[in-house]
Amino acid sequence: MAHVATPPAPTAPPHRRRAWRDILVGWSFILPNFVGFALFTLLPMLAAFALAFLDWDSYSTPEWVGLENFQQLWADENFHVALRNTLYYAAGHIPLTLVAALGLAIALNRKLRGVAFFRTAAFFPYITSLVAVAIVWNTLFNPTAGPVNQVLEALGVASPPKWVASTDWAMPSVIITSVWRDMGYYMVLYLAGLQTIPKEYYEAARVDGASAWQRFWNITLPCLRPTTFFVIVMLTIQSFKVLDLIVVMTDGGPGRSTLVLAQLVYREGITEGKFGYSSAVALVLFVIVLTVTVVQFRINERRSAR
């Protein structure tokens, strides 16, 4: 979405016959994909809105109930827990991934022989399967004899956290794992952003005697603003819809300590068959993501205007 180039408008109004031909030809190209897209993405998306206002279990006939699902939602403690946990996850995942990705990108933005190897290595976690990632991190976080706690004990931490086994530390464990997994992807975006900063800026700053920190603060960060904006938007969308990592790592537990909104949608809708109710949760999730994204775009516009 960052750079969608729109072609210039045609200068002369095309001939009518030609216009019809273009419509047919254009649609003939789009159709094979569009049929699948309309049927399996667009239609379900629209249906999701309607479903939220229905009372529909997998066995009964659908019935229009208006806002009843949302009233029920408001009183549902699971929903409050899931909402809080989703915000918790986002509040941890977004800033930490951002900082880690930027740090990696700056560290790896050098002209050194073999730097490509280091970049590749940092990117690899991102394309590793979630299940493998979850298995590995769950054992790393093993409360009694896992490497993480062995290291912490060696460093003198008397009673290290119980990580995935504890209600307080399960979410931080998930966040740490997700930051580790995702930072390579955003690092790539930041590397691309860093490459667009003209070298002359740094040279001029050096001549003026700017320190490394001043150069970072006054050149690198401002020049990276478009990238940062894009990264934040993507991270936000990604954070609010977190599901698979939770399902494979903790399945919402222990207790409800890592239950998130997307998981509530899945449980109520697909496991329990409460289609209407779960779609209400889904709609709330969608509205949150939409609102946050729109607000971010607004803030960005205002800042750019200055």
Q: Which is nearer to other proteins, 267 or 306 (CB)?
A: 267
By beta-carbon proximity to other proteins, the closer residue of 100 and 171 is 100
Using the rule CB under 8 A, which residue among 115, 204, 295, 299 binds other proteins?
115
According to CB under 8 A, which residues from 9 to 48 bind other proteins?
Answer: 10, 14, 19, 22-23, 25-30, 32-37, 39-45, 47-48
Of 99, 244, 295, 298, which one interacts with other proteins (CB under 8 A)? 244
Closest-CA residue to 147 (of 163, 131, 166): 163
Helices (DSSP H) in the chain: which residue ranges? Answer: 16-37, 43-51, 68-75, 77-108, 115-127, 130-140, 147-154, 170-194, 199-207, 212-215, 221-223, 225-240, 244-249, 261-266, 275-305
Q: What is the rounded distance in angstroms from the CA atom of residue 39 to the CA atom of residue 60?
A: 24
Among 77, 200, 208, 301, binds other proteins (CB under 8 A): 200
Interface pick for other proteins out of 70, 88, 229, 230 (rule CB under 8 A):
230
Supply the minimum distance, in Å, between the C-beta of residue 2 and other proteins: 6
If the CB atoms of residues 23 and 306 are measured against other proteins, the closer one turns out to be 23
* Phi, psi dihedral angles at 37 (to 5 degrees): -65, -45
Please report how close the Cβ of residue 266 comes to other proteins at its closest, in angstroms.
7
Mask: binding to other proteins, 50-89, rule CB under 8 A, as x and -?
-x------x-------------------------------
Q: How far apart are CA 129 and CA 146, in angstroms?
A: 21
60 versus 120: smaller Cβ distance to other proteins: 120
Given 70, 88, 229, 286, the residue binding other proteins (CB under 8 A): 286
Q: Which amino acid is at 123?
A: F
Q: Containing H/E element for 258?
A: none
| 182: its two tokens | 């995702």
Classified as helix, coil or strand, 54 is strand
- Selected from 12, 59, 61, 145, the binder of other proteins by CB under 8 A is 145
Q: Which is nearer to other proteins, 16 or 306 (CB)?
A: 16
Residues with Cβ < 8 Å from 84, sequence gap 6 or more?
none
Contact call for residue 289 and other proteins (CB under 8 A): yes
